[in-house]
Structure 1
Amino acid sequence: MITIRHTHEDGTLIHGTSKGDGVFEIVRKWENGNFRYFPSMARQGLPCIGLRHSRDQVADRWAINAAAKALRAAGFEVEVEIDDTPRDRAKVLEDKAERLEDRRDALETKANRHASAAAAAHDRADQISERFAGGQPKILGHHSQRRYEVDQKRMHAAMSKSVREDKAAQEIAGRASAVGANMRYSAKPSVTKRRIDSAINEIKRIDRDLAGYTRRHLDHHGNPLFIDKHEPASGDHRERLLARRAQLEKQLEYDRAQLEAAKAAGWIEWGPDNVHVGDLVEYWVRGRKRPVLKVNKKTIAVQSEYSWPDKVEFSKILSVECPHEDMSVPVTEPPSAGPVTAPHPSPTPAPRKIQVAKVDVDELTAKIAASILEVPRDSDAFFSPPAVVERVLDAAELESGMLVLEPSAGNGALAKAAAAEGCEVHCVERYPVLSQNLLDLDVAGIVGLTTGDFLEVTPDQYPTKFDRVLMNPPFSKGQDKQHVTHALRFLKPDGLLVAVMSSGVTHRQNKHTLAFSDLVWKRGGHITPLPDNAFAISGTDVRTVLVVIPAPEE
C-alpha cells in the first residue's frame, strides 16, 4: 500500500515505497506531481520522496492527486491522507531555526572537507615542485626530459585540484555564514509590519473567493458591457482556501504580538500621522537623509538627486528627524534582529562567521612559471640542490666582505647563498635565458654578471682576483676538470676553490683524470663523496663529489 500523506509538520511525503519499485520514476515527472528524492532523509531511514518546500504549507492537492492517479494507473494501491491543520507560528519558527542550525553545521563540515582536500592537493603539488627546486630547467634531449614533463603535468593537476577545492570551500563557507540571514531579516519590525499588511489583504481575497463575487465590466460611458460572476469556491479549491486562511490567522496572531512588543521597546510605526513635509528621513541606505516633499496615504515623496522625487513606502523608512514639537529627537529602528520583550522571542539563528583555511598558491605558481625554462642537452644544467649548497658553504668557510666568483652560475643557487653571508658575488653564465633569470633575482650581494662561456673568460676582465670560487660546472666529456682547472686562475694567493664534480675524478684512470688528481693532492686539497642521490631532486642520479682546492702559491 502506497500512502501519500501531508501534514504541516512533515510536509508531503510518500510512505510505503522502496528502492526499485518504480514509484519515484512515476511521480518525479512534472505531470505526475514533480516529486523529489531527499538523500538526507533516506540516510536517516525516513520517507524520502516528497514535495519540496511543503512543510508548514497548505497541501498542494493538484500535485498529490496527480501522483495518486498516475500510481493507480500503474497498478499501485494508493491512499491519500491530508491534514491541513496549521501549527502554532512560534513552533514553526523554532523548528525552522533548528533546521537552519543543522544546515549550517552540515555546510561547515562540507567546507572543512573541501579545505582539507585543497590543502592535501597543495601539499602534493609542493612536493612535486621540489623536482623543479630553484627553477630547474628542462634539458632537451636528455633522459630526464620525460620525467620532467610527467612531473610537470602531475604538479599542474594537483595545483588545479587545489584551486578548485579551495574555491568550493570558500563558497560553501560563505553559504554557511549566510544561514539564517533571511530569517533574521524577516523578524525585523518593519518587515513584520509589511507581512501583516500582506496577510490581511490575502485574507480579504480568500473571503471574497469563498463567498463568491460579481465583477462588472463597463464601457467608456460607464454602462455595463458584461458581468463576470464567480461562484463560491468548492471542492479541493475551497478546502485549500480554508486551510490557507487558518494558517494566515495564526501567522497574524503571532506577528501582531511581535509588533506590539517592538513598539513597546521603542520601534516607531511610521505613517501619515507622524511623518510631515519638511522632515529629514533616512531610507534604504544608512547615513543618507533627505527632506520629505509630500506625504501620501502609504508612501512619501522625498527629494532626490535627480529631477524627480524618490517614492518611499513608510515601512522602508529607517529614521526621521522632525523639527515639530511632537518629535524633537531622531527615532530609529532598534538594531536587534528581534524584539526581546515579545511573548515568543524570535528564535532566529544567531549570525556566525564561518571561516576555513585558504591555500596560498602564489609560491607554487611562481615555481610552475620558473619550470618552463628550456636549455640544450649539452648545457648539463643540473642546479645545486639546497643540501648540496649547504655542503659547499660549510667547506668554503666564507666571511663577510669576501669576493666570490660562481662560474656556470645556472640559477645562482651558490651565488645567492654566498650573498646571504655578506659576500660580493660575481657570476658567469653561458645561456642567456639563465642569465636573464639571474638578473631578475635582484639580490643585493650579486654585484656582477657576465654572459658567455666561462672557459673564454680571463682573470684580467676583473679588477681583482677572488677570495673564493664556488662552482658546479658541467660534467659531460670531462668538462668539470677543465672548468675547475681554469677557475683556479681567478683565485687570490690565499683563496679557496670549492667545486661539485663528477665522482669519476676519484676512479677513472685516463691521463687527464690522473693529472687532475695530482693537482688536488699537491695543493693540499681533498675530495669528499656526496650522497648517491644528491642530485635526484634535479632529475639526475649522477654520483658526485665535493672537491676543495687551495689557491696556487705565488
Structure 2
Amino acid sequence: MITIRHNHEDGTLVYGTRKGDGVFEIIKKWENGGFRFFPSLRMLGLRNSRDQVADRYAINAAAKALREAGYEVEIEIDDSFRDRAQVLEDKADRLEDRRDALENKAGRHAGAASAAHDRAHQISERFAAGQPILVGHHSEGRARADRKRMDQAMRKSIAENDTAQEVARRANAVGSQMRRSATPAVTARRIKTAESELRKIQKSLDGYTRRHLDHKGQPYYIEVHEGATGDHREMLLARKAQLENQLEYDRAQLAAAVEAGEYVQWGKHNVHVGDVVHYWGIRARPVVKVNTVTVAVESDYSWPDKVRYTEIRAVECPHGQDGPTVTAPKRPAKQAQAKPKAEVPTIDTDKLKAAAQTVSHMHVGADREAFVSPPAVVARLMELAEIEPGMTVLEPSAGTGNIALAAVELGAVVDCVELDNNLVEVLASRVPGTNLLYRHDFLETDASQLGTYDRIVMNPPFSGGKDIAHVTHALDFLKPGGRLVAVMGGGVAFHKVKAAAEFRQLVEDRGGSITALPADAFKSAGITVTTVIVTIPC
C-alpha cells in the first residue's frame, strides 16, 4: 500500500515505498506530480510543501499514475494550518540545524584541502630544491610519477579550498532571508500582497463576471466565472484560512514596529504636495501629486515619477513652523549573531598554482647533468664564499637557481648564465632578484660580455672533465681579491690524468683548497657520486 500524506508540519510525503520498487521512476515525472527524493528524510515528497496548502493536482496526478501501473494508493490530506508564530519558530530551528550542518561540511572540506596541500608539499620535496626532471635518466620515471601525484594533490587542495569557502559563505547566509523578511518594510509589503491574494481568493469563491467592451464602450461579450468547486474550492478555503492567520500575525508585528517608531506607515494622511520624499536609498524629490497607493514626484523629464508609499524611506516637510522637518523611522538596534561567523582557513591557492607552473618547466635532457645543489651543500658554499651585502656574484650554468637564490638572500647582486630555456623560466620565477639570464653556453661566454665579479659560486656538470673546464674558464670572470667556490666531482682530488693533476696544481698555486663532501650529499638530486668543494682565491 502506497500512502501519499500531506499535513502542514511535514509537507507532502510518500509512505510505503522502498528503493527499486519503481514508484519514484513514475512520480518524479513532471506530468505525474514532479516528486523528489529527500536524502535527509530518505523519503519521496514534494518540494516546498511544508506549511503550504496541499497541491492536490500533483497529489492526484501521482496517485492516478501509480494506480494505472498497478499500485494500490491512498491519499490523506490534512490542510489544518499551523499558527504563524509556530511556523516561524520551527523554521528558525531548521535553519539553525542547516547552518550547523553547513559549518561542519565547510570544516571537512577545509581539512581535506589542508591534507592535500601538505601531501603536495611532501611529494614535491624533490622539486622544492629545484631539481628538474632529467629526460632519459634512470630517475625520469619516478620523477614524473612524483610530479603527477603532486599536481593531483595540488588540484585537490585548490578544489577543496574553493568548496570550503563557498560552503562557509552559505552557512553565514543561512537565516539572512528570514531576518530580512521580519523587517517592518518587508512585513508591510507582505501584508499588501496577502490582502491582494485574499481578495482574489474571495472573488474565485464567489464567482464573478467580466465584461468585454467594444470601441463604443458597449459590452460585446460577458465572461461568466462560476464559484470554485471540488478540490479547487478546498484549496482556496485552506489558503484563505492560512492567509488570515498570517495577516493577523504580521499586522501585530507591524503595529509593534510603528509604536516603537521603527516604521512609519506613509499615506495621504502624512504626505503632502510640496513635501520632499526620500526613496530608493539616495533619491530625494518634491511631491507634485498624492494618490491612494503612490505619490507623483518631479523627475528629470517631462512626466513625473511614481513612488509607492512602501518605497518611501523618509519625508522632508517644509511646512513646519520652525522650518523643514524630516520624518524617518528609527533604525532598530542590530542584534548580535546567535553564533559567531563561520570561518575556515584559506589556502594560498595562487602560490600552489605558481608552484605547479614552475615545476611544469623543470625538465631537461639527461646530457645536461642538471643535478642541483641540495640545501646543505648550498649552505656550505655560502659559508666558504663569505658573501657580503652589495657584492657582485656570478653563478655559471645556474640551473634552477638554488645558489643564486641563497646569494640574493645575503644581499648580493647576482648574475646568472643558463643555456636551457625551461630552466631560464624556472630561474625567472624562483629568483626574481637576478639581473641577467643568458640563454647560451657558459663556455662560449667571455668576460667582455659580463665583466668580472667579487664572487663566483657554481655547480658545473661533472662528467668527462666538464667540471674542470667550467671552473678554469670561470676564473677569467673573477676580480682581483675575489673568490671562486665550486662543487666538483671527487675525481679532481685523486685522478692521475693530466687534466686533474694540472687542476690540483692550479688550486695549490693560488692558495686554494679542496674539501670532500659527505658521500650522500647529492642523494636528494638522484646521484650518489663523490663530490668535493673547491675554493680558489684570486
TM-score range, shorter-chain basis? Answer: 0.7 to 0.9
Q: Classify the secondary structure of the residue corresponding to 1:469.
A: strand
* Closer, same or farther: CA 402–212 of 1 in aligned 2, 3 Å: closer
TM-score (norm 2): 0.86
* Structure 1 residue 393 displacement after superposition: 1.6
Matched residue, 2:24: 24
Q: Which amino acid aligns with 1:545?
A: T
Matched residue, 1:213: 208
Which digits, 9 at most, give the CA deviation of each residue in 1:362-418, with x for residues without a partner?
Answer: 333333333426655543333323332112123334445655443333344323423
* Closer, same or farther: CA 463–39 of 1 in aligned 2, 3 Å: closer
* Closer, same or farther: CA 304–502 of 1 in aligned 2, 3 Å: farther
Contact between 1:129 and 1:367, CA under 8 Å: does it hold in 2?
A: no
Q: 2:72 is matched with which residue: 69, 77, 83?
A: 77
Q: Which amino acid aligns with 1:28?
A: K
Q: Classify the secondary structure of the residue corresponding to 1:14.
A: strand
Query: Does 1:276 find its partner at 2:292?
Result: no
Contact between 1:498 and 1:546, CA under 8 Å: does it hold in 2?
A: no
Which digits, 9 at most, give the CA deviation of each residue in 1:136-160, with x for residues without a partner?
Answer: 5555554555555544444443333
* Closer, same or farther: CA 184–424 of 1 in aligned 2, 3 Å: closer
CA RMSD of aligned residues (A): 3.6
Q: Classify the secondary structure of the residue corresponding to 1:273.
A: coil
Q: 2:53 is matched with which residue: 40, 58, 61?
A: 58
* Closer, same or farther: CA 110–334 of 1 in aligned 2, 3 Å: farther
Q: Classify the secondary structure of the residue corresponding to 1:330.
A: strand
Q: Which amino acid aligns with 1:263?
A: V
Query: Does 1:243 find its partner at 2:238?
Result: yes
Q: 1:233 is matched with which residue: 224, 228, 241?
A: 228
Contact between 2:405 and 2:430, CA under 8 Å: does it hold in 1?
A: no
Q: Classify the secondary structure of the residue corresponding to 1:55.
A: coil
Contact between 1:134 and 1:367, CA under 8 Å: does it hold in 2?
A: no
- Relative to structure 2, which stretch is displaced further, 294-303 or 404-413? 404-413
Query: Does 1:333 find its partner at 2:329?
Result: yes
Which digits, 9 at most, give the CA deviation of each residue in 1:326-353, with x for residues without a partner?
Answer: 9953232343399x9xxxxxxx986964
The residue correspondences of 1:112-511 to structure 2 (distance < 5 A) are: 112-133=107-128, 136-137=131-132, 139-147=134-142, 149-266=144-261, 267-284=263-280, 286-325=281-320, 329-336=325-332, 353-371=341-359, 372=361, 375=364, 377-400=366-389, 404-423=393-412, 425=414, 427-430=416-419, 453-455=441-443, 466=454, 468-487=455-474, 496-505=483-492, 510-511=497-498
Which digits, 9 at most, give the CA deviation of each residue in 1:296-331, with x for residues without a partner?
Answer: 111122233455433211101111111123995323
Contact between 1:279 and 1:321, CA under 8 Å: does it hold in 2?
A: yes
| Inter-partner Cα distance in structure 2 for 1:316 and 1:397 | 75
* Closer, same or farther: CA 102–436 of 1 in aligned 2, 3 Å: closer
Contact between 1:387 and 1:534, CA under 8 Å: does it hold in 2?
A: no
Contact between 2:83 and 2:245, CA under 8 Å: does it hold in 1?
A: yes
Which digits, 9 at most, give the CA deviation of each residue in 1:236-278, with x for residues without a partner?
Answer: 1121111111101110110110111011011210112211222
Which digits, 9 at most, give the CA deviation of each residue in 1:273-295, with x for residues without a partner?
Answer: 211222222212x2332222322
| Inter-partner Cα distance in structure 2 for 1:175 and 1:436 | 40
| Inter-partner Cα distance in structure 2 for 1:17 and 1:464 | 86
Q: Which amino acid aligns with 2:86?
A: K
* Closer, same or farther: CA 168–389 of 1 in aligned 2, 3 Å: same
* Structure 1 residue 179 displacement after superposition: 1.7
Aligned residue pairs: how many? 534
- Relative to structure 2, which stretch is displaced further, 87-96 or 516-525? 516-525
TM-score (norm 1): 0.84
* Closer, same or farther: CA 323–22 of 1 in aligned 2, 3 Å: same
Q: Classify the secondary structure of the residue corresponding to 1:229.
A: strand
Q: Which amino acid aligns with 1:275?
A: V
Contact between 2:129 and 2:375, CA under 8 Å: does it hold in 1?
A: no
Q: Classify the secondary structure of the residue corresponding to 1:355.
A: coil
- Relative to structure 2, which stretch is displaced further, 123-132 or 86-95? 123-132
Matched residue, 1:91: 86
* Closer, same or farther: CA 181–431 of 1 in aligned 2, 3 Å: closer
Query: Does 1:545 find its partner at 2:534?
Result: no
* Structure 1 residue 214 displacement after superposition: 3.2
Which digits, 9 at most, give the CA deviation of each residue in 1:511-546, with x for residues without a partner?
Answer: 54455556667856232223526353x5x3243423
Contact between 2:401 and 2:431, CA under 8 Å: does it hold in 1?
A: no
* Structure 1 residue 196 displacement after superposition: 1.6
* Closer, same or farther: CA 435–181 of 1 in aligned 2, 3 Å: closer
| Inter-partner Cα distance in structure 1 for 2:174 and 2:16 | 33
Which digits, 9 at most, give the CA deviation of each residue in 1:156-182, with x for residues without a partner?
Answer: 433333333333233222222222222
* Closer, same or farther: CA 4–375 of 1 in aligned 2, 3 Å: closer
| Inter-partner Cα distance in structure 2 for 1:224 and 1:419 | 93
| Inter-partner Cα distance in structure 1 for 2:228 and 2:28 | 30
Contact between 1:429 and 1:454, CA under 8 Å: does it hold in 2?
A: yes
Q: Classify the secondary structure of the residue corresponding to 2:306.
A: strand
Contact between 1:290 and 1:304, CA under 8 Å: does it hold in 2?
A: yes
* Closer, same or farther: CA 312–530 of 1 in aligned 2, 3 Å: farther
| Inter-partner Cα distance in structure 2 for 1:246 and 1:221 | 42
| Inter-partner Cα distance in structure 2 for 1:170 and 1:125 | 20
Q: Which amino acid aligns with 1:365?
A: K
Q: Classify the secondary structure of the residue corresponding to 1:195.
A: helix
* Structure 1 residue 470 displacement after superposition: 1.9
Unaligned stretches of 5+ residues in structure 2? none
Matched residue, 1:343: none
* Closer, same or farther: CA 490–299 of 1 in aligned 2, 3 Å: closer
Contact between 1:100 and 1:349, CA under 8 Å: does it hold in 2?
A: no
* Structure 1 residue 55 displacement after superposition: 0.5
| Inter-partner Cα distance in structure 2 for 1:113 and 1:81 | 41
Instruction: Tell me: higher relative CO, structure 1 or 2? Use CA pairs within 8 A at least 6 residues apart.
Output: 1
| Inter-partner Cα distance in structure 1 for 2:76 and 2:333 | 38
